[in-house]
Amino acid sequence: MAKIIVDGKEHECEEGQNLFQAIKAAKGRPLPHFCYHPALPVAGVCRMCQVEIEGVPRPVIACNAQVKDGMEVRTETDRIADVVQQILNFHLLHHPVDCPVCDQAGECALQDQYMNYGLYEASVDVEDKIHKDKVKPIGELVMLDAERCVLCARCTRFTSEITKTHEMGIFNRGNHAEIDVAPGRTLDNNYSLNTVDLCPVGALTSRDFRFKRRVWWLENTPSVCAGCATGCNMTIDHSEGTVYRCRPRPNVEVNSYWMCDEGRLLYHRLHDEDRLRTPVVAAEEGPRTVDWDEAYARVQSLLTADGGETRRVAVIASAHATVEELHALGRFADGIGAAKIGYRLEGSEMGEADDLLVSADRTPNAEGARRLGWSQFLGEELRAQASSDTVLLVLKNDFAAFDENGVDLLSAYAGVVVLGTHQDATMDLADVGLPVLSYAESDGLFVNEKGRAQELHASIAGPESARHAVVVLAELGRLLGKEFGWEDPAALRRDLVATEAGWGALATGIDRTGVLLDVVSDGAAIGAESGSEGGGE
């Protein structure tokens, strides 16, 4: 432990800690900076975070200094203000000041620092400025504007230290120095959009988000990526019912500060053409859109055999559904005595893992499903349940896209009811398709492959007539004369914590980094004893 004095106030920190972080902890806000990033090696190039240290004649940059016991640091003297302003002056000397067309405006470090420390008269005419590349696509998803760059080297450090792909570099020197991709290269790795997040200014902007929406109109909802089992924490930026972009949310336990491009761009699916917006029922000429009452009437008729008695039900769960939805489905199935088939075909939805974030399992909640007692299923199990006296209920599962035999088998069922978000392959085969809310539109939990339960929050409202899957399940239960008594995911979560073992960690609430669930023995159904002995937190 070491004590330092920051602006006259004592602060406890670790000996040898990075001074920048120590000051950030002491003051509650960071020093002005462009190049410092906690997950990247220190570059010390922007010179903005200068502080005065007692006994050191000249101001030093805090990001490249280490804490020493008894160190006395001053960050708010006139001298520092003057130094920072002059440094900022250099940064802005050849900046094009094209904030009106710049997507970074509103979340731009240059703008912020200028308002805090600048406010001087510019000394260079617009005509005298050095001109560099503008509007240069350097990759599938990233646009470069070299004039706006402050040469903080975050992007080059990211490509050389994190992805180790080395696409980017700083070329030329002096006034003419600029970032770019190396000749013949493009910024095309799966993490390229992280450079856009890293870029403190508008030099690197996302071609996906470009000009779509001003950032100050975006609302931010913390959520979790549904792209794979890693469960990267992300922020959904949305406005007026439309998601405009997703950004990684720092969580050192899961994804550090990063997120893959694939996961970021997943939000496009939310607004796809083939999003299921109203209930559909199968008709001769193809799916026909109907209202909920008619859809439920159709479900009712499917459930009623010719003789008048109620048919059997088999349910298929999904690793794309939230914990609450899966729990609701489980209780639904138990309540009406339905056969529980499982959450996915063995091995389907597995892709390639990389060594950074992407998991081979491309479903977000396989671990959650497993912990709730669902198992993976084989085409055989589907066949075993198939009979003309059974109705198949599918929750958010597009297994038909992965198994051709399964497709054939579906016709053996008396009827297929699918609760889904899109008009996908399974939905095409359904007798009744019911639109439910997607991961971005509902609250819920995903459990990632390491057993960390993380919260989703509803960001946008979703299609007007879509309902939450647990609500639909409750209503379907009512059709079968069964009252389940839950109304929303929160009620189900309470029920889950109260009734099932292994979820006790949720009882005290979840913070933004999620909570690690108790370890369970692999593949086994959760028993009371295994739940109590775990202790992974």
Partner 1 sequence: MSEEHQDAVPEVDASDAAADAVAVTDDPTKAFSFSPEREKKYEEIVRRYPTRLSAIMPMLWLCQDEWGWLKPGVPEWVAARLEVPISRVYEIISFYTMYYTENPGTYNLQVCRNISCHMAGSGKITKHLCKKLGVGLNETDSEGRFRVEEVECLGACGMGPMMQVGKDFYEHLTEEKVDELIEQWRRDG
Partner 2 sequence: MAYSVHGPKAVSGGAGARLRRGEAFYLVEIVRGMAITMRHLLYNMFHSSTMPTLEYPDERPEHGPWLRGRHRLMKREDGSPRCVACQMCATICPADCISILAQDDDRPDVEKSPESFEINLLRCVYCGMCVEACPCDAIRMDTGIFELAADSREAFIVDREFLLNNTTDGVNR
Tell whether residue 168 is a contact of partner 1 (CB under 8 A): yes
Is 211 a binding residue for partner 2 by CB under 8 A? The answer is yes
Q: Please name the helix (run of DSSP H) or strand (run of DSSP E) that holds residue 407, with its range, or none.
A: helix 404-410
Counting contacts by CB under 8 A, is residue 140 touching partner 2? no
Question: x/- contact string, 257-276, with partner 1 (CB under 8 A)?
Answer: --------------------
Integer Cα distance of 182 and 293 in angstroms: 60
Work out whether 214 is an interface residue with partner 2 (CB under 8 A): yes
Answer yes or no: are the C-beta atoms of 295 and 266 closer than 8 Å: no
Do strands 178-181 and 142-144 pair parallel, antiparallel, or not at all (unpaired)?
unpaired
Q: Which of 212, 269, 275, 482: binder of partner 2 (CB under 8 A)?
A: 212
Least distance to partner 2 from the beta carbon of 98, Å? 8
In whole angstroms, what is the distance from residue 201 CA to residue 186 CA?
21
- Which is nearest to 264 in space by CA: 215, 208, 213? 208
Q: Which of the choices partner 2, partner 1, none does residue 307 contact, using the CB cut-off of 5 to 8 A by kind?
A: none
Q: Does 38 bind partner 1 (CB under 8 A)?
A: no
Instruction: Kindly state the tokens that stand for 190.
Output: 């799966």
Residue 68 makes contact with partner 2 by CB under 8 A: no
Among 107, 133, 346, 495, binds partner 1 (CB under 8 A): 133
Report the residue from 45, 83, 181, 409 that binds partner 1 according to the rule CB under 8 A.
181
- Provide the 3-class DSSP secondary structure of residue 166: coil
Three-class SS of residue 536? coil
**E-only strand ranges, 177-264:** 178-181, 204-206, 219-224, 233-239, 242-248
For the bound state, the minimum distance from the C-beta of residue 100 to partner 2, rounded and expressed in Å, comes to: 3
Edge-to-edge strands of the sheet including 9-13?
9-13, 2-6, 72-74, 50-53, 60-61
**Angle at the Cα of 137 (from 133 to 139), degrees rounded to 5?**
135
Under the criterion CB under 8 A, does residue 129 sit at the interface with partner 2? no
Residue 167 partner contact from partner 2, partner 1, none using kind-dependent CB cut-offs of 5 to 8 Å: partner 1
Q: Which stretch binds partner 1 (CB under 8 A): 179-187, 189-197, 377-385, 487-495?
A: 179-187
When the beta carbons of 160 and 348 are compared against partner 1, the nearer one is 160
- Contact flag: residue 166 with partner 1 (CB under 8 A): yes
Nearer residue to partner 2 within complex by CB, 141 or 328: 141
Q: Of these, 147, 180, 381, 443, which contacts partner 1 (CB under 8 A)?
A: 180
Long-range contacts of residues 485-493, Cβ cutoff 8 Å, at least 24 apart? 486/328, 488/443, 489/322, 489/324, 489/325, 489/442, 489/443, 489/444, 490/443, 492/324, 492/327, 492/328, 493/323, 493/324, 493/327, 493/445
CA atoms within 13 A on the CB side of 436: 28
- Binding segment toward partner 1, per CB under 8 A, in 36-44, 173-181, 423-431, 460-468: 173-181
* Amino acid symbol at 138: I
Q: Does residue number 175 form part of the binding site for partner 1 (CB under 8 A)?
A: no
Residue 169 contact among partner 2, partner 1, none, beta carbon within 5 to 8 Å by kind: partner 1
How near is the Cβ of 413 to partner 1 at its closest, in Å? 54
**Is 132 or 452 the residue whose CB approaches partner 1 more closely?**
132
Does the protein bind partner 1 through residue 183 (CB under 8 A)? yes
Q: Can you tell me the distance from the alpha carbon of 397 to that of 426, in angstroms, rounded to the nearest whole number?
A: 8
**Which residue stretch of 7-15, 169-177, 412-420, 485-493 sits at the interface with partner 1 (rule: CB under 8 A)?**
169-177
Q: Given candidates 135, 182, 498, 525, which one binds partner 2 under the rule CB under 8 A? A: 135
Identify the residue whose tokens are 């006395």.
72
C-alpha dist (Å) from residue 375 to 326, 526, 527 = 12, 12, 15
**Residue numbers 184-223 binding partner 1 by CB under 8 A:** 184-185
Q: What is the x/- site pattern for partner 2, positions 410-429, by CB under 8 A?
A: --------------------
CA angle 462, 464, 465 (to 5 degrees): 110
Task: Indicate which single residue of 167, 261, 431, 443 sits in contact with partner 1 (rule: CB under 8 A).
Answer: 167
Using CB under 8 A, which of 78, 216, 306, 307 touches partner 2? Answer: 216
Q: Quick one: which segment of 39-47, 62-70, 212-220, 311-319 binds partner 2 (CB under 8 A)?
A: 212-220
Closest CA to 136 of 127, 128, 146, 126: 146
Of 91-110, which residues contact partner 2 (CB under 8 A)? 98-101, 105
Give the residue among 106, 109, 101 at the shortest CA–CA distance from 143: 101
Hey, which residues does 144 pair with through a beta bridge?
Answer: 136, 204
Contact set with partner 1 (CB under 8 A):
133, 156, 159-160, 166-173, 180-185
Would you tell me which residues interact with partner 2 (CB under 8 A)? Answer: 98-101, 105, 134-135, 210-212, 214, 216-217
